[in-house]
Amino acid sequence: MNNNCLNTIRRRNYTSRLINPFSKTLCLLAILCGLPACSSNNAYVNKNTQQEDSVAVTVAEPIFLRTPGNGADSEQWEQNQNGHRILRNVINPTITPVLPEPEKANGAAVIVAPGGGFISLSIDNEGFDVARWLAKQGFTAFVLKYRLIAMPPVLDASLADDQKRIQENHLAINRHERAKGLQFFKAPKDVLEDSSDAVKIIRSQAKQWQIDPQRVGFIGFSAGAVAALSVGLTDDNEARPDFLASIYPSMMSRYVPADAPPLFLVIAMDDPLFAKGKEFGLIQSWRDAGRPIEAHLYERGGHGFGMEKRSHASAKWINQLYDWLQDRGMVGDQQANTVTSEASKQPANFNVTDTPIGHFLDNPEAKQILEQFLPDIVGSNQTSMIRGQSLSQLRRYIPDAITEEKLIAIQEVLDDVINKRKYNINFKA
């Protein structure tokens, strides 16, 4: 992986980036990984815009994860009935930055990995649409186009022929996966390599992107969710993200190490692939390891909903993801959290009611205050489980350890610190 592989970032219109759109839309059957059937309309219409709700985002040039080889022409771009693009036969992996307005940037980065059964990518509904939403909230997002299992081209034939061909290929891929013992349990080697490279490149370029290298997350959908789990559980610590979001993954139990990243998980109970008649061992695996997990199990939504509204509840998953990231201190104040060592030592707005405990622990001065009153909490090896809680919230569970008197005393010290500027931190009442 060398810097010559990195493209110069240029601002450009959303509809003119990446690959030239295909000249003729072909029909695609909804396959096992939940892709909707393609429209037979030959006109390619990209319904995405670069600006919504008066918040602009910038989609930059894609960055190659390795020196590009021959075969870019093998990529097939198609469009489904909802106007979303589907991509197949990727052999040159890239990440495409989707950038927030500079004044809105919060210093955190998120890699977005679309799904598609490792044979295609739902590049809009589970890729750019997600990245653009995150960028509007201040995240620096990167859409990962990872390598796929090769598929024969879909010929210009009847719908029945195309459906049969895709069904046969998918069955063959399933047999191949089962023979290797994968069964959507872990990502193929190429996909794990691409996911790991994406994390490493983004961290190595943290200063360029004005992000915190310790706040790089990975969100994946379906097969992309399996990629998220695989890179999150890799033995390569440099490639392991700081937080994971796995949206309708395989729910099989697996080994989770004691230092696994926090996990946000979403699945619909009527998901025909990974929920119906299945055990939810993945949740228990995270709990058994003592690692933070937040799981949202929706009654309806099916598989592959992405940014589509399949039910009122499941459509709110991305807002709940944002709330979870706030609780874990991954969002924070926009300008205060841009990556500089001084800024990371001085987060703003300390108070016992709203400030996550993680902010206290990450700030040496604030941690010193907390340690004066709650040494058992600061010295506990379980602090990772409570980083997203405020002191007031934690008091509900351990009222004997965190008394009202201690909260008042801590608040008084914080006020006094501000008045006398003892610790050079800010307080917001």
CATH classification at residue 267? 3.40.50.1820
Domain boundary among 297, 327, 357: 327
Q: Is 80 exceeded by the pLDDT of residue 399?
A: yes
Which of 423, 404, 425, 424 has its CA nearest to residue 352? 404
Please indicate, yes or no, whether residues 369 and 302 belong to a single structural domain of this protein: no
Distance CA 108, CA 64 (A): 21
pLDDT at residue number 189: 93
Residue 140, helix vs strand vs coil:
strand
Q: Are residues 202 and 136 in the same domain?
A: yes
Same domain, residue pair 302 and 351: no
Q: Do residue 277 and residue 140 come from a single domain?
A: yes
Q: What is the mean pLDDT of residues 137-157?
A: 83
Q: At 102, which amino acid appears? A: P
Per-residue confidence (pLDDT) for residue 218, from 0 to 100: 98
For the chain, how many residues are written? 429
Structural Rg of the chain based on CA atoms = 23
- Do 109 and 67 share a domain, yes or no? yes
Tens-digit pLDDT profile for residues 235-270: 999 999 999 999 999 999 999 999 999 999 999 999
Where among 272, 292, 327 does a domain terminate? 327
Q: What is the pLDDT of residue 244?
A: 98
For range 174-181, the mean pLDDT = 48
Spatial neighbors of 134 by CB under 8 A, at least 6 apart, are: 98, 110, 112, 141
Helices (H), 205-340: 206-209, 223-232, 281-288, 317-327
- Give a yes or no: residue 354 inside a domain: yes
**What is the reported pLDDT for 170?**
52
170: in domain: yes
Residue 151 placed within a domain: yes
Place 161 in a pLDDT band, splitting at 50, 70 and 90.
low
Instruction: Give the pLDDT confidence score for residue 154 in this predicted structure.
Output: 56
Counting the structural domains of the chain, the total is 2
The pLDDT of residue 377 is 80
What per-residue confidence (pLDDT) applies to 365?
77
Q: Is 70 left (phi over 0), alpha (psi -120 to 50) or beta?
A: beta
Count CB neighbours of 400 within 10 A: 6
Residue 36: both structure tokens together: 């909707």
The reply to whether 339 falls in a domain is no
List pLDDT tens digits, range 311-351: 999 999 999 999 999 988 888 644 334 333 333 334 345 77
Asked if residue 306 and residue 386 are part of one domain, the reply reads: no
Which is nearest to 390 in space by CA: 365, 360, 415?
Answer: 360
* 368 lies in the same domain as 311: no
- Each residue of 366-381: pLDDT tens digit? 888 888 898 888 877 6
Q: Which two tokens stand for residue 210?
A: 């004005």
For residues 53 and 189, state if they share a domain. yes
Through-space distance between the first and last CA atoms of the chain, rounded to whole angstroms: 48
Instruction: Give yes or no: residues 400 and 318 share one domain.
Output: no
Q: How far is Cα of residue 169 from the mean position of the Cα atoms in its chain?
A: 29
Tell me, yes or no, whether 332 lies in a domain. Answer: no
In this structure, are 233 and 354 located in the same domain?
A: no
Kindly state whether residue 277 falls inside one of the protein's structural domains.
Answer: yes
Distance in angstroms (rounded) separating the CA atoms of residues 235 and 179? 24
Amino acid 129: pLDDT: 95
pLDDT, tens digit (0-9, with 9 covering 90-100), for 57-116: 999 999 999 888 765 567 888 887 778 899 989 999 999 999 999 999 999 999 999 999
CB 172 within 8 A of CB 141: no
The predicted structure's pLDDT at residue 401:
85
In a domain, 212, yes or no: yes
Q: 356 in a domain, yes or no?
A: yes
Residue 199 is encoded by which pair of tokens?
Answer: 């994390």
Same domain, residue pair 256 and 404: no
More confident: 421 or 293:
293
At 175, is the pLDDT very low, low, confident or very high (cuts 50, 70, 90)?
Answer: low
Q: What's the CA gap between 113 and 328, in Å, rounded?
A: 22
Report pTM: 0.65
Q: Which domain holds residue 364?
A: 346-420
352 and 247 belong to one structural domain: no
Residue 234: its pLDDT value, please? 95
